[in-house]
Amino acid sequence: MAKKPDDDHKVELPDFDTLIDINQKDPEALTRLRQRLSDDFLDSCPDSSRRRLEGLLFRINMELRRARNPATAYLRLSDMMYSSFSELHHSLHQPEDLLNKENQRGQNQRSADILSFPQDHSWKGNKPH
């Protein structure tokens, strides 16, 4: 992973009271802080998990953008988190369902034969009449 010029200047998460103060005085600054902390976290993740985490962050950002107010944003993100924990709980307590689901995915994959066609380049020099 290439080092960014600002790697030595990682942002620390302020205490709760400071976050409240930032939100009251400059909500956009709080958004920038959240984005910077998220980026710093992603930069610290191994490549094997970064893509999935970037996808999750994208979903979170879209839910925040769609929300018309902070309460709606909270409810949307809370619902996402609850759904994720519910799936995890189900997977831990009924792993056979997860295995069956994976097996069905493998069986539903379609295969195809790729045909090769002869290359006829005689059309290249011909102009339409």
The number of folded domains in the chain is 1
Contact in structure between 84 and 67 (CB atoms under 8 Å):
no
Tokens of 101: 């689901």
Is 105 domain-assigned? no
At residue 44, the pLDDT reads 94
Q: pLDDT tens-digit profile of 16-51?
A: 999 999 999 999 999 999 999 999 999 999 999 999
Domain coverage including residue 45: 13-98
- Asked, for residue 54, whether it belongs to a domain, the answer is yes
Query: Cα separation of 74 and 64, whole Å?
Result: 8
Separation CA 128–CA 79 (nearest Å): 60
Which regions of the chain are under pLDDT 50? 1-3, 5
**H-state helical runs in 45-94:** 47-66, 70-93
Determine, yes or no, domain membership for 117. Answer: no
115 located within any domain:
no
pLDDT at residue 114, rounded to an integer: 81
